[in-house]
Amino acid sequence: MDRHAQHMKPCIVAVGARTVLGLRAFPAAIAAYSGISGIMEHPYMVDKSGEPFMVAMDSTLEDHNRHERIFVLARSALLEVLEKIPSTSATTLPIYLGLPEFGPFYSQHHAHALCQRLAAEVSWRCKPQIVPVTEGDAAGLAAMERAVAGISDGMFQCCIVGGVDSFLDPDILESLDDVCRVASIANRWGFPPGEGAGMLAVCSPEFARVSCLHILGWVVSLASTVEKNPINTKTICLGTGLAKVMQKAAGVAGNQVTKQYCDINGERYREHEFSYAILRVPPPTFVNSLDYVSPVDCWGHNGAATGPLLSLLPLVCHNLGFSPGQWPMVWCGSENGRRGAMVLHLQSGDS
């Protein structure tokens, strides 16, 4: 892909976030880049071994209700990103919001109620059209696909792509602990439950130029598929789905991926899937196929917020001069089998 074609792609012009490492995007990303860990003992919940759960918990949130925590996290990140783009109460603004998969702990009712509350909270900044994308860990990249398609088709010039989630719920923690999925003294092959929200302002290059917005990076390619052998099934995952999206996203971008940002979280399934996937992808796809960043050990496993939060790292770090190279890839996978990958192009000094 030549430079002119790259710079005609939808671009990211602003970010917002709230994580256990920071209440705004730049501090959170810098802390994760620096390897600072926000994982701590849960103040009162213990696992089946009698030890406190090790979690990444936003200790500034007083309400222990999961849905209230999700609302506060999303509102905080959304208001931050809205500060950075031009809008008025009359501006129609699509918002594609990644949310947890539907199941015993999250329902269509919860998604609808959250979207209604968020719309009311930001109505003084814009006329929000919030679209829930309930795809779990890969929801943020699924939301980005819809946003990029809308911009490319001329449906709108600017939108928000985000994701929010929280595992800080007693029933969720106990259910994960029952099947040995939470990292603990007794279980090495688990993940630290976390919570957070990430938001990205995505627009056409023309909108960025007219609005005098600084472009953090371009979304040059996206790919998604469904892994036929997802976690919690009796089948064996050989990395077919992940390899497919990696290869497709890199192929469309037309450049070697300089660094990967992913959601490997300590579970054996995810590590095995990555190992098989890398063997399926042609060697020239990556500058170094094992050069990846997974900040789960810093801000915990953040579910539906994963894609947008991972995207913060290359965007913020490149903006501050800690460049991951010009062609980072973000990839993640949901429990339902959804796999997604996105390649960004970051501004070079002579662009």
- The domain that holds 179 is classified in CATH as 3.40.47.10
pLDDT at 125 over 80: yes
Q: Extract the tokens encoding 228.
A: 């036929």
350 pLDDT band, cuts 50/70/90, is very low
Q: Which two tokens stand for residue 345?
A: 């192009």
Strands 259-262 and 328-333: parallel
Task: Place 3 in a pLDDT band, splitting at 50, 70 and 90.
Answer: low
| 153 and 296 both lie in a single domain | no
pTM across the whole model: 0.96
Tell me the average pLDDT across 74-79: 98
**How many independent structural domains does the chain possess?**
2
pLDDT category, 241, cuts 50, 70, 90?
A: very high
Instruction: State the average pLDDT over residues 222-240.
Output: 94
Q: In the 8-state DSSP scheme, what is residue 108?
A: H
Residue with tokens 């490149």: 318
Residues 6+ apart with CB under 8 A from 71: 114, 117, 118
Mean pLDDT (the chain, rounded): 95
- Measured CA to CA, the distance from residue 209 to residue 225 in angstroms comes to 33
Structure tokens given for 99:
């949310």
How much of the chain, in percent, has pLDDT values that exceed 90?
A: 91
Q: Of the residues 172, 190, 210, which one is the last residue of a structural domain?
A: 210
Give residue 296's pLDDT. Answer: 97
Note whether 18 and 59 are within 8 A (CB): no
Same domain, 93 and 180: yes
Residue 185 lies in a domain: yes
Domain identity same for 118 and 189: yes
Cβ-contact 159, 143 below 8 angstroms = no
Which band of pLDDT confidence, cut at 50, 70 and 90, is reported for residue 2?
low
Residues 3-21 have a mean pLDDT of 88
Judgement on whether residues 134 and 13 belong to the same structural domain of the protein: yes
pLDDT at 6 over 80: no
Q: Which residues of 145-179 are buried (b: 16+ CB within 10 A; e: fewer)?
A: bbbbebbeeeebbbbbbbbbbbbbbeebbeebbee
Q: What is the pLDDT of residue 8?
A: 86
Which pLDDT score is estimated for 184?
A: 87
What's residue 185's pLDDT? 82
The answer to whether residues 27 and 56 belong to one domain is yes
CA angle 135, 200, 220 (to 5 degrees): 85
Residue 215 belongs to a domain: no
Q: Are residues 101 and 28 in the same domain?
A: yes
pLDDT mean over 321-347? 94
How large is the average pLDDT for residues 116-136? 97
The region of weakest confidence among 5-9, 23-27, 333-337 is 5-9
